[in-house]
Chains A and B, each alone.
Chain A
């Protein structure tokens, strides 16, 4: 394992019956970074996380946490975990749940500090079973933080949260990163990855198909989006060179172009009344779609 890596999957292969979940898959998590693991459903993200957490063993290859086996108790004492589907004990109050999980760690945060950090102070005395699904996610986030982890695994942490709570989680994550914590985040919200991630890893069909910063991912996609209001017909524009797709409705026309400059010149020449022109670079969403489509 590389000396700088907090966690690593080294050429791991994992099968579930006939399904090849991960195929010679390698991934590293570096100190102090937020790594977003992206991929369509069934891509292998959860399997990768399971191997790093020691919940499953690779058929081939190796998994490391802090240079140790993920099954090692010593390694697990430095991680925090928020799984996508993990109901806590419904009869226990929120503060009690946090104290219980804190008892597994060498130097846990005081319960009050966890409640403060996750914006759940008002929930401390409420039974977990009586919380809304969004509130339960907030408590699970607190459970992940109570052990002062140096590596945090978050699986879809903001699903079911309202905008305010989501912003709160994001600001807490930024604070943790600033304090040197490493985070592995899986999310279906690409804007979440775009807002938080230092590095993105795109997984499809059990393989790591691209990795880099959000900017590097965007740069992989040369397409640009053009929007405008025009009297030109979408069927005609779609036949122009450099135009990849066109849609039009009462709000205007949206064009995806491989060479935006050429298309804009021709648009302006063809329609002198054209207005509301905007050209945008592809976002992470477009990059993700294009990258994962290539391996389908």
Chain B
């Protein structure tokens, strides 16, 4: 009987490195896809926080912080939700995901590569937010800004997992619409951009964006609601459950 080919242990890491290298190249070569994610949060903060409401915000630093965190979290959500949602749905529809499953490709290699790309995007977004913050009279100490950036980078994982599940279910054409159906309510119901009335504040707890917002406030040493441990647990649970559902869906239907 024929025997299967042995796999040198030293090569196991190579698929991950090559996958990450080409995932980043692929994004660099599609600036129309990546550009809006990178530019939008800082551009919106400049528009609302500096150009339109700059004088009012100068008198009320709390509003400046509110806007700064709101647009930062908007930036954290986009790359994971849209990147995973649209890319996975397109690859599924075009048969690339099926080919990967037939080949000896570790499924985790492209997923980790895409997640690293999303995290890199978030790092760039946070750098751009830090660069424009002084224009709204926000002067953030370096260590606090680094802590905030780290929280935001790591917290992109649950949004990647949600995008992954949408990509595993939706067609390439419907994925952007479905992501928006999730993205916009998550932003507005979390109260990160528009404060919710006290009677409806409980709704915010349902949105992962709210838990990220509370973690961001914790990292800045600002007043926040609930324990950081609870917020981390919610975001971790979303990551695990949505990833497991997406992997199961792909294994069953391709």
Residues of A within 8 A of B19 (CB): 100, 103
Is there a chain A Cβ closer than 8 Å to B1's Cβ?
A: yes
Is there a chain A Cβ closer than 8 Å to B14's Cβ?
A: yes
- What are 5 A-B contacts with C-beta separation under 8 Å? A67-B4, A73-B106, A77-B4, A92-B26, A103-B18
Contact B104 A77 (CB under 8 A): yes
**Residue in contact with B103 in the complex, picked from A3, A4, A76, CB distance below 8 Å:** A76
Is there a chain B Cβ closer than 8 Å to A53's Cβ?
A: yes
A81 CB to nearest B CB, Å: 5
Contact B25 A55 (CB under 8 A): no
Tell me which residues from 69 to 117 in chain A have a Cβ below 8 Å from any Cβ of chain B. 72-79, 81, 83, 85-89, 91-92, 96, 99-101, 103-107
Residues of A within 8 A of B230 (CB): none
B35 CB to nearest A CB, Å: 14
**Residue in contact with A66 in the complex, picked from B4, B22, B98, CB distance below 8 Å:** B4
Tell me which residues from 2 to 55 in chain B have a Cβ below 8 Å from any Cβ of chain A. 2-8, 11, 14-15, 17-19, 22, 25-26, 29-30
The 6 closest A-B pairs by CB, nearest first: A86-B95, A87-B94, A74-B4, A103-B18, A86-B99, A76-B104
Tell me which residues from 60 to 102 in chain B have a Cβ below 8 Å from any Cβ of chain A. 94-96, 98-99, 101-102
Residues of A within 8 A of B26 (CB): 89, 91-92
Give A153 to B102 CA distance when docked, in angstroms.
10
Contact A55 B94 (CB under 8 A): no
Contact B18 A99 (CB under 8 A): yes
Residues of B within 8 A of A (CB): 1-8, 11, 14-15, 17-19, 22, 25-26, 29-30, 94-96, 98-99, 101-106, 254
Contact B95 A83 (CB under 8 A): yes
Q: Beta-carbon contacts of A1-40 to B below 8 Å, as 1s and 0s?
A: 1011110000000000000000000000001000000000
Residues of A within 8 A of B (CB): 1, 3-6, 31, 53-55, 65-68, 72-79, 81, 83, 85-89, 91-92, 96, 99-101, 103-107, 127, 143, 147, 150, 153
**Residue in contact with B2 in the complex, picked from A31, A55, A107, CB distance below 8 Å:** A31
Give A74 to B19 CA distance when docked, in angstroms.
20
Contact B7 A101 (CB under 8 A): no
Contact B95 A66 (CB under 8 A): no
A102 CB to nearest B CB, Å: 8
**Residue in contact with B99 in the complex, picked from A75, A81, A107, CB distance below 8 Å:** A81
Residues of A within 8 A of B25 (CB): 91-92, 96
Give A92 to B7 CA distance when docked, in angstroms.
26
B186 CB to nearest A CB, Å: 29
Give A138 to B101 CA distance when docked, in angstroms.
21
Give A54 to B252 CA distance when docked, in angstroms.
11
Interface centre among A4, A31, A86 (most CB of B within 10 A): A86
Contact B95 A77 (CB under 8 A): no
Known: A68-B4, A96-B25. A55 touches B103 (CB 8 A): no
Give A54 to B18 CA distance when docked, in angstroms.
25
Contact A91 B14 (CB under 8 A): no
A181 CB to nearest B CB, Å: 12
Give A147 to B5 CA distance when docked, in angstroms.
11
Contact B4 A92 (CB under 8 A): no
Residues of B within 8 A of A53 (CB): 101-102
Give A106 to B99 CA distance when docked, in angstroms.
18
Give A127 to B98 CA distance when docked, in angstroms.
21
Known: A91-B25, A103-B15. A147 touches B99 (CB 8 A): no
B105 CB to nearest A CB, Å: 5
Residues of B within 8 A of A92 (CB): 22, 25-26
Give A103 to B8 CA distance when docked, in angstroms.
12
